[in-house]
Amino acid sequence: MTVALVLFGYAVALAVFAGPLLRRARWVDRAPRLAIALWHALSVTVLASAAMAGLALTVPTVQVSGDLAALLRACVMALREQYASPGGAAAGATGAVLALAILARTLWCLARAALRAARDRARHRQVLDIVGRPDRGHGFTILDCAESAAYCLPGRQRRTVVTTAALQALDGGQLAAVLAHERAHLAERHDLALTFSAAIATAFPAVKLFRDAAAETARLVELRADDVATDRTDRLTVAGALLAVASHGTPAVPVGAMAAGGAGAAARVRRLIPPRRPLGRAQATAGSLAVAVLLALPVLVLGGPAATASQHNLCPDASVSASAPMQ
């Protein structure tokens, strides 16, 4: 019961306090990839902690043993002991429902979001095969359109699409910046991060942390792609490209695509004007450690007592046999 309460309290505390803290952190825009990892680690650890709390209620802690027979016997005895009382049985059933509901809802929403995105992209690729034409020199698809847009479709048959209006608005350097931005999305599989965070937010819409994680992931992948583009060219060229694409009207981007320009373009342009200030090595290491700790902590809380409960033997038979003299 204690383990379940600790895990559940940890999940609630993170869900309530961690999101606002991370959203207000000033370093986030300087290291968008690390921030994306932190948002995802937070979401995963909140889900895992809540599910493990249910598991801890359902299955009592037993002493881990190298002897499989002894371990199984301890498990059976502990389960029999817990489920012998009505209160223990109710707690166990509640925990099982909680753990299974979280697991099933998460997997269902993830699978549905992934299938929907793949289907929408496949449809859009079919349309592009009919109405688009390839630019052999740069390897993207040109789409005749009066509105300015550049976007990519991730997946195995990935595409980068630039409309004719965008081509007219961009000079050579800006076009290279836009293509570098889109290829960063494709190379780093930002679509997976977006699909995951959006699916979790859909699965549990009441949890603000998940909604914030989805919104921040959508914003941060754009910052990360801008940073990669500035490695290929200079920051002002990327800012100019964003302005050129965004100021000529941005059409609705197909589902599952990621566009240059669009919402947040003004803030991104402002961010690109001063010189880049990446995080120092100590701050980056601390951030990576935070991701690792967030992911490991629920497992340690659940597994720790089982691994260290050498004095707490829940199997009466086993303790009797252990204390009996050898013959």
The amino acid sitting at 321 is S
Q: Cβ 185 to Zn ion, closest distance in Å?
A: 5
Q: Are 193 and 217 spatial neighbours (Cβ–Cβ below 8 Å)?
A: yes
Neighbours of 142 (CB within 10 A): 17
- Sign of the CA dihedral with 223 first, then 228, 230, and 233 last: negative
Q: Which stretch binds Zn ion (CB under 5 A): 48-56, 119-127, 196-204, 258-266?
A: 258-266
Q: Cβ 180 to Zn ion, closest distance in Å?
A: 11
Q: Which stretch binds Zn ion (CB under 5 A): 19-27, 71-79, 257-265, 307-315?
A: 257-265
Q: Cβ 190 to Zn ion, closest distance in Å?
A: 8
Q: Which stretch binds Zn ion (CB under 5 A): 53-61, 100-108, 250-258, 309-317?
A: 250-258
Q: Cβ 225 to Zn ion, closest distance in Å?
A: 5
Q: Which stretch binds Zn ion (CB under 5 A): 160-168, 193-201, 222-230, 315-323?
A: 222-230
Instruction: Answer yes or no whether residue 269 interacts with Zn ion by CB under 5 A.
Output: no
Neighbours of 133 (CB within 10 A): 11
Q: Cβ 181 to Zn ion, closest distance in Å?
A: 5
Q: Cβ 169 to Zn ion, closest distance in Å?
A: 16
Residue of the chain from 258, 265, 294, 318 that contacts Zn ion (CB under 5 A):
258
Mention every residue, 6+ apart, whose C-beta is less than 8 A from residue 143: 128, 131, 132, 149, 161, 162, 163, 164
What's the N-to-C CA distance of the chain in angstroms?
38
Instruction: Answer yes or no whether residue 34 interacts with Zn ion by CB under 5 A.
Output: no
Nearest of 82, 45, 90, 46 to residue 61 by alpha carbon? 82
Q: Cβ 258 to Zn ion, closest distance in Å?
A: 5
H-state helical runs in 143-280 = 164-169, 172-187, 190-203, 208-232, 235-246, 265-272
**Please, which residues bridge with residue 160 across strands?**
152
> Which residues 90-109 are close enough to bind Zn ion by CB under 5 A?
none
> What residue ranges in the chain does DSSP mark as E strands?
133-135, 140-143, 150-153, 159-163, 258-260
Instruction: Answer yes or no whether residue 225 interacts with Zn ion by CB under 5 A.
Output: yes
Q: Which stretch binds Zn ion (CB under 5 A): 19-27, 85-93, 125-133, 217-225?
A: 217-225
Which residues bind to Zn ion, rule: CB under 5 A?
222, 225, 258
